[in-house]
Chain A
Amino acid sequence: MAFLLSNGKELLMETAIDFGQPLSVLIVEDNNIDRRILESMLKERSDYTGLLKATDTLEKTLHLMDEYEFDVVILDLNLPDSHGEETLLKLTKKNPKVAVVVNTGAYEDRLGLRTLSIGAQDFLVKGKYTAYLLNKVIHYAVERKRFEMELKQAYDKLKETQTQLIHAEKMKVIGALASGVAHEVKNPLATILYGVTYLNETLANGDEKVKTVLYNIKDASNRADRIVTDLLDFARLRQLNKEKQSINHVIEKTLSLIKHELDQKHILVKKNLGADLPMLEIDLHKIEQVLVNIMLNSIHAMKHSGELMLTSEVITLSESIEEIPTLHRLHFTPGQRVVSVSVEDAGSGIPPLALEKIFEPFYTTRRADGGIGLGLCVSRNIMDIHQGSISISNREVRGAIAKLHFKI
């Protein structure tokens, strides 16, 4: 056994554990001697350390992290341009996937322990480690970080699934409720409307007041019918009539549908539609409905005149798929190529409180103008059953941006 020999340390280094792949290591240390000690210990075995870089400020560290992909950073917390825990926080914010081993001064065990709770995988106390221990610590740190990332990924996935399940359950309840309400409300409405039709034919012969009364009854009944119909539309995940479509063609069709509203408000449409976009398997009418909803919202947000910017392009999703809202993230995979459509306006933007509720049923900021608050809800459902996504946010400068993502 290794520790039977007097020179146990050396033996451990010679025969010790096969750590597998050599690591890429970044040493961040502003003390030259400490840095050199680390370097020499890491270079002792070439199969333990692959890429090895060293630097002495946080700023240079962040630059190096842009340039290279490190498995582990050995970090001195007190640098010329950053001190204490702040150094660790800035580094993990830059790259949450990198393992960090904090290199603390002697008698700083407490600080070392504290760093474990804010993102470090382990800590070393200067002067109290050997080459073997150092190599072991950094390899273990990398493994721990890998498990942590896997766990986090599993947790995120679980969260997404839970969000989707809650949403699906909600939709099921609303669907059942909507069908029941529709039947019970539409029947009496039919009675009222046929009654009004009959009275219009037989009574309205001259009396303007009677005509007005009948007109108002009919108008109110039709409005109630529309609300129930919208609720049905919203609640039912109906079968899609999918066909191969060019999204640019759908955008152009939508523009012709809302031409009246665009002209009325003198809205200028700017198009940046990608050429040679792949055809999408979508339900033309449903996607048209989504585009009409978001474009009309944009038009309403602009008082008089303004610009509506439409973009279509192929993009590659990031590793974290953060471009996609949580609810729809399960539909996509990291690095997937998707068609992205965005609708931007230069309107009033969306207040933060409204942004949170924008997709909730019956939430509207335009109730006085006859808004019911189902348009975006229906749109989200449509994108959901297309296995796509919809998101709405404020632009940095002015106005709002709605984005749709479609699988190719």
Chain B
Amino acid sequence: MDRKKKILIVDDEKGFTSMLQLNLEAMGVYEVRVENKSERALQAALQFQPDIILLDVIMPNMEGPDVANEIKNNQLLKGTPIIFLTATITIDEMEAHNGRIGGHPFVAKPGSLSDLLESIRRNLLTAY
């Protein structure tokens, strides 16, 4: 059996990350780690070596696109797919941008779990 895919969630909303972790772990195929402080995201990613990162856009201290840059510029992590999670963009806008911010796909918050799972699945596929 394949090993569980590792998902790192970086989002300052503790309630949200906890609910998302519960849902993803309930699938039985993902190992999930949460980091609520965006400035620690790089360190968390280096330790956890995720297969994919779910990244909030607006966070205190360090915003999502800056975290994405750090990860992209890191030799060990640069190939790791990132999906942005954002509460300030509507589904309409997401479609207008062809589902991408700065080259990364994104998913609207709140959105359905199935849409998020589909995006994770698709991005894991293209990463390997």
A201: nearest residue on chain B (CB-CB)? B26
CB proximity to B under 8 Å, residues A189-218: 189-195, 197-198, 201-202
CB-contact partner of A182 in B23, B88, B111, B112, under 8 A: B88
User: Would you call A197 and B16 a contact (CB within 8 A)?
Assistant: no
- Say how far B52's CB is from chain A's closest CB, in angstroms: 17
B110: nearest residue on chain A (CB-CB)? A190
User: Would you call B93 and A190 a contact (CB within 8 A)?
Assistant: no
User: Would you call A179 and B19 a contact (CB within 8 A)?
Assistant: no
Q: Which residues of B contact A190 (CB under 8 A)?
A: 13, 16, 19, 87, 109-111
Tell me whether A238 is interfacial, beta carbon within 8 Å.
Answer: yes
CB proximity to B under 8 Å, residues A207-239: 221, 225, 229, 232-233, 236, 238-239
CB-contact partner of B22 in A198, A233, A238, under 8 A: A198
A202 to B111, alpha carbons, bound, how many Å? 20
- Say how far B88's CB is from chain A's closest CB, in angstroms: 5
CB proximity to A under 8 Å, residues B46-104: 58, 87-88, 90-93, 96
Number of A-B contacts (CB under 8 A): 64
Q: Which residues of B contact A239 (CB under 8 A)?
A: 96
CB-contact partner of B16 in A187, A198, A201, A238, under 8 A: A187
A194 to B90, alpha carbons, bound, how many Å? 18
Contacts A186-B109, A198-B19 aside, 18 further interface pairs with beta carbons under 8 A come to A187-B87, A187-B109, A188-B16, A190-B87, A190-B110, A191-B15, A191-B19, A194-B16, A194-B22, A195-B19, A197-B112, A201-B23, A229-B90, A232-B90, A233-B92, A236-B93, A238-B93, A238-B96
Q: Which residues of B contact A221 (CB under 8 A)?
A: 110
Most buried by B among A186, A194, A225, A232: A194
User: Would you call A197 and B90 a contact (CB within 8 A)?
Assistant: no
User: Would you call B87 and A186 a contact (CB within 8 A)?
Assistant: yes
Q: Which residues of A contact B93 (CB under 8 A)?
A: 236, 238
A183 to B57, alpha carbons, bound, how many Å? 10
User: Would you call B110 and A183 a contact (CB within 8 A)?
Assistant: no
User: Would you call B19 and A194 a contact (CB within 8 A)?
Assistant: yes
A239 to B97, alpha carbons, bound, how many Å? 11
A189 to B19, alpha carbons, bound, how many Å? 11
Q: List 5 A-B contacts (CB under 8 A).
A: A183-B58, A190-B87, A190-B111, A192-B110, A197-B23
- Say how far A307's CB is from chain B's closest CB, in angstroms: 32
Tell me whether B20 is interfacial, beta carbon within 8 Å.
Answer: yes
User: Would you call B110 and A225 a contact (CB within 8 A)?
Assistant: yes
User: Would you call B109 and A197 a contact (CB within 8 A)?
Assistant: no
User: Would you call A183 and B20 a contact (CB within 8 A)?
Assistant: no
User: Would you call B113 and A194 a contact (CB within 8 A)?
Assistant: yes
A138 to B12, alpha carbons, bound, how many Å? 78
A346 to B92, alpha carbons, bound, how many Å? 33
A195: nearest residue on chain B (CB-CB)? B19
User: Would you call A189 and B110 a contact (CB within 8 A)?
Assistant: yes
Tell me whether A241 is interfacial, beta carbon within 8 Å.
Answer: yes
Q: Which residues of B contact A202 (CB under 8 A)?
A: 26
Most buried by B among A179, A187, A198, A241: A187
CB-contact partner of A198 in B26, B58, B90, B110, under 8 A: B26
